[in-house]
Amino acid sequence: MQNKKNMPLTSQRGDAMPLSPIRKLVPLADKAKARGIKVYHLNIGQPDLKTPQVALDAIRNIDRKILEYSPSDGIKSLRTKLAGYYHRFNIDVTEEDIIITTGGSEAVNFAFMSCLDPGDEIIVPEPAYANYTAFAIAAGAVIKPVFSSIEEGFALPPIQKFEEMITPRTKGILICNPNNPTGYLYTRSEMNQIRDLVRKYDLYLFSDEVYREFCYTGAPYISAFHLDGIEENVVLFDSVSKRYSECGIRIGALVTKNKQVRQNVMKFCQARLSPPLLGQIAAEASIDTPQEYMLEMYNEYVERRKYLIDGLNRIPGVYSPIPMGAFYTVARLPVDDSDRFCAWLLTDFEYNGETIMMAPASGFYTTPDIGRDEVRIAYVLDKEDLKKAIVILQKALEVYPGRK
């Protein structure tokens, strides 16, 4: 079928795909930079810390005559080493339970394509990572949101809210722990409640655990694999991008003890041939990153978190709860529309030749008109840059035409 301009129509699926709230303002940021304005990027979870030297050395010292395909499920030595890494967190898996993917995003995509049919529903606490919605649309699945509020610090909504949403089409619950975009860290009690619901209705528990190194409480990190009685229901997503500051190598993992899920996922893996060879070489080396690096990284984010949250909450009309994990926070601003405000920062505002880029939080909700006065901020810049960014935000709010 063709449209009125005698051009082929695009797909309904493509038309329904949302723009990324993290990246959709990039053209405006590029234009700002072209005008000579410095832009502080608080919009994207790209760590500014150096990639571990062991990873860089592994790439520099490659001694191969051919850069060949790897196995579709990833190099076995990497999967074996990754299983050992998980054992440090009391996650009892073997290399057979692990499939290497092209970033954590592909793990989510392949899980949805392998576990869900068109029209199937996934219950997701909101706000949630925007690409979950995109991958659900690609699979023909439906996100059913359960709203968590900034007033409650984005704690897990009452489990009764989840149960009320279960229908014959419900196939799973999806969580991100620690959470992107809110930084919330689920408690043992909350995880047990999710487990009981998953077991009662025989659902999948899709668990994004990319940020497990970034937990800022004294309580232990609780993985979905720590929950008894649902071992075959759990599909875990992981990535080396954040913990080793190597987003560009595009290496993630899908981990599950469910053999049938793995068999389905492998079909998609074979269709895309193999994950990146050079990325796998770097990722395998990264598992040997010295503990000193990991501790310094952790302490740096703890300091940045405190500096940012203190600074945000000193700005009149701004509120951010204290995130207990990851390196993001969702802040409420005294603005009419955060999408408009974030664009205005790049098109119409500068302070001493500088401005900031943030992610409008509306893109992390599927519920219409929610999050219109919220933004996600990634504290991936050093404290000096965060200091400048906080000043810029305060100055911008003082003159923004749509201030509430």
- Indicate which CATH number applies to the domain containing 304: 3.90.1150.10
Contact 340, 333 (CB under 8 A): no
Domain that holds residue 151: 53-286
**In terms of domains, do 21 and 118 share one?**
no
Domain count, the chain: 2
**Is residue 6, in this structure, part of any structural domain at all?**
no
**230-289 tens-digit pLDDT:** 999 999 999 999 999 999 999 999 999 999 999 999 999 999 999 999 999 999 999 999
**Is residue 3, in this structure, part of any structural domain at all?**
no
CA gap 246, 318 in Å, rounded: 32
**Is residue 167, in this structure, part of any structural domain at all?**
yes
| pTM of the predicted model as reported, rounded to 2 decimal places | 0.95
**370-382 tens-digit pLDDT:** 999 999 999 999 9
**In terms of domains, do 274 and 382 share one?**
no
The last residue of a domain, from among 286, 313, 347: 286
Task: Count other C-beta atoms under 10 Å from residue 177's C-beta.
Answer: 26
**Is residue 189, in this structure, part of any structural domain at all?**
yes
**In terms of domains, do 136 and 255 share one?**
yes
**161-213 tens-digit pLDDT:** 999 999 999 999 999 999 999 999 999 999 999 999 999 999 999 999 999 99
**Is residue 73, in this structure, part of any structural domain at all?**
yes
**Is residue 191, in this structure, part of any structural domain at all?**
yes
CA gap 379, 89 in Å, rounded: 25
**In terms of domains, do 237 and 357 share one?**
no
**In terms of domains, do 186 and 303 share one?**
no
**In terms of domains, do 276 and 302 share one?**
no
- Indicate which CATH number applies to the domain containing 138: 3.40.640.10
Given a cut of 90, whether residue 351 has pLDDT beyond it is yes
**What pLDDT is recorded for position 368?**
84
Contact 90, 226 (CB under 8 A): yes
User: Helix or strand or coil: residue 230?
Assistant: coil
pLDDT > 70: percent of the chain: 99
**In terms of domains, do 237 and 354 share one?**
no
CA gap 334, 302 in Å, rounded: 27
